[in-house]
Structures are given as structure tokens and as C-alpha cells.
């Protein structure tokens, strides 16, 4: 017999929904054990045997403990934003990332797309999964899609009805475009004074940058982030994910939730001007503080810290690790864990300020010692000594990591064309109103008839809209 521990949603497959049970699993593989409970897609989950991550074909012995960690999927719509209806007139990344965050927390998001083409990310491939853009799939779950031609009078009428029933309207057209289509913010407010109207752009709805085209790389450069990223003396480097888009979406989502809370007090909505450049400047944080304090213009520092030593990336025998020692105690523990007691006792390194001054002497000593150990050995030693350390993982390692699995940071949902789709999961957990993955990224116009019927169009009227090219 072995002990089987089912984490998260996998408990639904155990008798009575219990988390821990004794089963006849000795001599079987981890995968064979969990399959006896009818757990689907278990090949994507992580397995922990006696505290260590193992492959699905690991054979279990008598009295072993097997933990199965699932990818997150399923759930109810009773999230914190349940009952909030969002009209989503966004495309590409910043806007869809904003509405993804709202949708994951239970908001009803209606994605309005151009007939025939839809969100341009539908065509951003490769990579693709069964002909569906992986990019599109990654940021559009939990939404319903309808198509409306906003240049057609009847398409405009349908959008008016959506706005009248909405709590939130989000758009990412080039500044001025939505007004030219007949929906300036004054009209949106007149159609629904309680609606939160959020406009996301690169450089704002007015001012000198309103007409500038904005892509992530452009804004990372203009916002200062790229002037800080990379190795000293080398060319600027962008962050490895489109964070200018994503940060803009995050700040927009936060502002929307704040505005919804304010509406509870005032009874009316408001307009939000969210920008990509604003998000980048907000991220400058301590580097901006240095500039404002004494006029110093920070330059790229690589992976080192100007004020803390040791704090940076070290090459182990088979990979890289990050080590951070923010005080003297951590430095002493680091030295003892690496069998460098003489370094800990060296007066040149007794205080952080002295270690900063003697960086050129100390770092090579640490590099030589860490370079003679495997990455796993360095991490094991320093974690046992309670020294902040972590490996630099590629994505295959990230998504197999037990902590990542335990926190539900891999989301899965079944798509009618692409099949089982995986994406980064929801980064927070809430015990009262949990976020959830409920719906696949929609096919183009998949819910057009459904949504139009909900806002008062008859079947005959919907058929006419299709015939006339309005949807």
C-alpha cells in the first residue's frame, strides 16, 4: 500500500473528495496509480514521490507517498467580479490582457470583433495548435466572442445595446477612432452613466503622443526600461516578455476595479485613460528614485546590484543560479554553506559597504566555488542554510516545478479546434471568491447569436443582421 495525496481539483476524483488516502500502488507507476481514479490529462500534472519530483513512469514502493499536482482548469463563475459585464473592444495584447484578468475573476466578458478577421492575434502564427494561434489562445480564455461591423448602422445599434447593459467598456482603438465611429466618451457616458469606460493606448488619448503608433518594443525603449536592461557597455536589451503591453493591461484592470468600487459610493461610472508609457514609467521605481535624489542617470548593471554584494547571477557547473545576500547574517550563512569560512572571517567583507568596495575581490572567490558545484547542489546547500537562492529555469523546468504546479500556475481548458490548451494560470488564490478557468478562448463570432438574443434581438433580426453584413 502507498499513500496518495491529491491536490487541488484532483480531489474531486477521490471517494468523498478526500485529499489523502491509502491505495494499492506498490509496484505501479505514478501514472498508473492516478489513472485508476479516472483523472483526465494527468500526463500534464507533476508527481512528487516522498518529497521529490519524479516522472510519470516512476515505480512506487511499499509505503511510498505519491502526491499528484494538477494544472488548474474548471471552476465556477462565482469569482469576485461575478455579475460584472464587460464589453471588450480590444485586440492584440494590452487590452485582452486587461479583460483576461477581469474574466478570470468572474466578470462576463463579451469580446467584440470585426467580422471575418477578428482580433489580429488570431493570425499571429507560428506557433499554432491545430491551426489556431497559440498567441491568441494564451490571453483570451473565459470570454465570449461576437462579431459586429462598427461601420454598419445596425452594427452600431447592437453595440449601443451592449453598452447600455454594460458595467465596463474597454477599447484599444487608436486615439480618436472610437469617436469617429460614433462613440466619443460623452456618448458612451450618455448611453450608460454607470459604465466604467476604459481606453488603453500607447501614449494617451490627448497630448503630443496621441497619434504615435505603439508596440511593446517601442514603449519599452521610450519608457526607460531598456536603458536599464542588459550588460554594462552592451546594446540595450528588451525584457523577454511583452511586459509593456502586459503592465498596461494590469494597471488598466486595477483602475477598472477601483472605479467599480467608487461607483458603489457615487452611483456613477467614470472614464479611464490607461497608457503603456504610464506603466513603464511607474515601473522605474528605485532607479527613478536614484535619479530624483541626486541627478544620477542609471545605466545597465547586468544582474548585479549597485548597493548589495553578493547579489547576482553565478555560473554553476551545469547552469546558473541567483544568490542574494541582503545582510551580514545571510553572507555568513552563505560562506558556511559553501565551505568558505575563511571568507566569512575576512575583515574586507565584514560589512556590506566593505563588500561593495571589495566586490572585485569577493565575487571571483564565490564564482570559483559555485562553479565547482552543480546547480542543484548549490540550491540545496543554500536553501538548507536559509540563504535566498534560486536556479535560472527554462520554461520546461518552470512548468514542471512542484511549487508552480502546487500554486495552480498552469491553466488548462479544452478548445473545440486546438484540443487541450495550456497557458499560464491565475497568479493569485482567493479562498472566498476564487478565480477560475471556465471557458475556452472563443472561436471568432462563436457567441454572436447567443449574446444578441440576450440584449433583445429576435432570431429573425439576427438573421437579417447576418444577411446585411452587420455581424
Active site (catalytic) residues: 245
For the residues of 205-263, what is the DSSP string, one character each?
A: SSSTTTTS---HHHHHHHTTGGGTSS-TTS-----SS-HHHHHHHHHHHHHHHHHHHHH
Measure the CA–CA gap between 129 and 131, rounded to whole angstroms: 5
Strands 65-69 and 2-6: parallel
Locate 72 and state its grid cell. 488548474
For the residues of 330-348, what is the DSSP string, one character each?
A: HHHHHHHHTT-HHHHT-GG
Locate 289 and state its grid cell. 528614485
| Angle between helical axes of 375-384 and 328-337 (0-180°, round to 10) | 130
Q: Number of H helices and number of E strands within the chain?
A: 19, 18
90 SS3 class? coil
Locate 14 and state its grid cell. 477521490
Q: Which residues contact 157 (CB under 8 A, 6 or more apart)?
A: none
By the 8 A CB rule, do 55 and 47 touch? yes
Locate 367 and state its grid cell. 564564482
Can you say whether the dihedral through the CA atoms of 29, 35, 37, 40 is positive or negative?
positive
Strands 85-89 and 108-113: parallel
| Angle between helical axes of 243-266 and 94-104 (0-180°, round to 10) | 50
Amino acid at each position: 500500500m502507498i499513500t496518495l495525496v491529491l491536490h487541488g481539483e484532483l480531489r474531486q476524483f477521490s471517494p468523498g473528495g478526500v485529499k489523502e488516502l491509502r491505495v494499492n500502488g506498490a509496484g505501479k507507476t505514478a501514472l498508473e496509480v492516478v489513472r485508476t481514479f479516472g483523472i483526465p490529462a494527468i500526463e500534464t500534472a507533476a508527481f512528487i514521490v516522498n518529497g521529490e519530483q519524479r516522472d510519470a513512469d516512476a515505480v512506487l514502493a511499499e509505503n511510498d507517498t505519491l502526491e499528484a499536482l494538477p494544472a488548474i482548469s474548471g471552476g465556477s463563475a462565482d469569482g469576485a467580479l461575478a455579475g460584472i459585464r464587460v464589453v471588450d473592444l480590444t485586440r492584440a495584447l494590452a487590452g485582452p490582457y486587461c479583460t483576461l484578468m477581469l474574466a478570470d475573476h468572474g466578470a462576463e466578458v463579451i469580446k467584440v470583433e470585426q467580422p471575418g478577421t477578428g482580433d489580429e492575434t488570431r493570425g499571429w502564427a507560428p506557433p499554432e495548435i491545430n491551426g489556431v494561434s497559440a498567441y491568441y489562445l494564451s490571453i483570451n480564455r473565459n470570454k465570449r466572442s461576437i462579431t459586429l461591423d462598427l461601420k454598419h448602422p445596425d452594427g452600431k445599434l447592437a453595440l449601443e445595446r451592449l453598452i447600455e447593459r454594460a458595467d465596463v467598456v474597454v477599447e484599444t482603438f487608436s486615439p480618436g477612432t472610437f469617436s469617429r465611429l460614433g462613440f466619443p466618451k460623452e456618448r458612451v457616458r450618455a448611453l450608460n452613466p454607470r459604465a466604467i469606460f476604459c481606453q488603453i493606448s500607447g501614449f494617451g488619448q490627448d497630448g503630443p503622443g496621441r497619434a504615435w503608433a505603439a508596440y511593446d518594443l517601442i514603449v519599452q525603449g521610450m519608457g526607460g526600461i531598456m536603458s536599464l536592461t542588459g550588460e554594462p557597455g552592451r546594446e540595450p536589451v528588451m525584457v523577454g516578455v511583452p511586459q509593456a503591453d502586459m503592465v498596461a493591461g494590469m494597471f488598466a484592470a486595477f483602475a477598472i476595479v477601483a472605479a467599480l468600487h467608487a461607483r458603489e459610493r457615487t452611483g456613477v461610472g467614470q472614464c479611464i485613460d490607461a497608457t503603456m508609457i504610464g506603466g513603464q514609467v511607474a515601473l522605474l521605481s528605485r532607479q527613478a528614485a536614484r535619479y530624483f535624489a541626486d541627478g544620477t542617470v542609471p545605466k545597465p548593471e547586468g544582474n548585479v546590484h549597485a548597493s548589495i554584494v553578493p547579489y547576482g547571477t553565478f555560473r554553476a557547473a551545469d547552469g546558473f543560479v541567483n544568490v542574494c545576500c541582503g545582510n551580514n547574517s545571510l553572507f555568513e550563512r552563505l560562506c558556511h554553506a559553501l565551505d568558505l569560512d575563511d571568507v566569512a572571517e575576512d575583515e574586507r567583507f565584514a560589512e556590506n559597504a566593505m563588500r561593495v568596495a571589495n566586490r572585485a575581490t569577493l565575487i571571483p572567490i564565490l564564482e570559483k566555488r559555485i562553479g565547482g558545484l552543480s546547480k542543484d547542489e548549490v540550491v540545496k546547500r543554500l536553501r538548507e542554510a536559509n540563504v535566498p537562492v534560486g536556479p535560472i529555469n527554462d520554461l520546461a523546468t518552470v512548468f514542471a516545478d512542484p511549487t508552480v504546479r502546487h500554486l495552480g500556475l498552469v491553466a488548462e481548458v479544452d478548445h473545440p479546434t486546438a484540443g487541450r490548451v495550456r497557458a499560464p494560470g491565475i497568479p493569485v488564490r482567493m479562498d472566498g471568491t476564487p478565480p477560475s478557468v471556465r471557458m475556452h478562448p472563443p472561436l471568432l463570432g462563436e457567441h454572436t447569436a447567443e449574446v444578441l438574443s440576450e440584449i433583445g434581438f429576435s432570431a429573425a433580426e439576427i438573421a437579417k443582421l447576418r444577411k446585411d453584413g452587420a455581424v
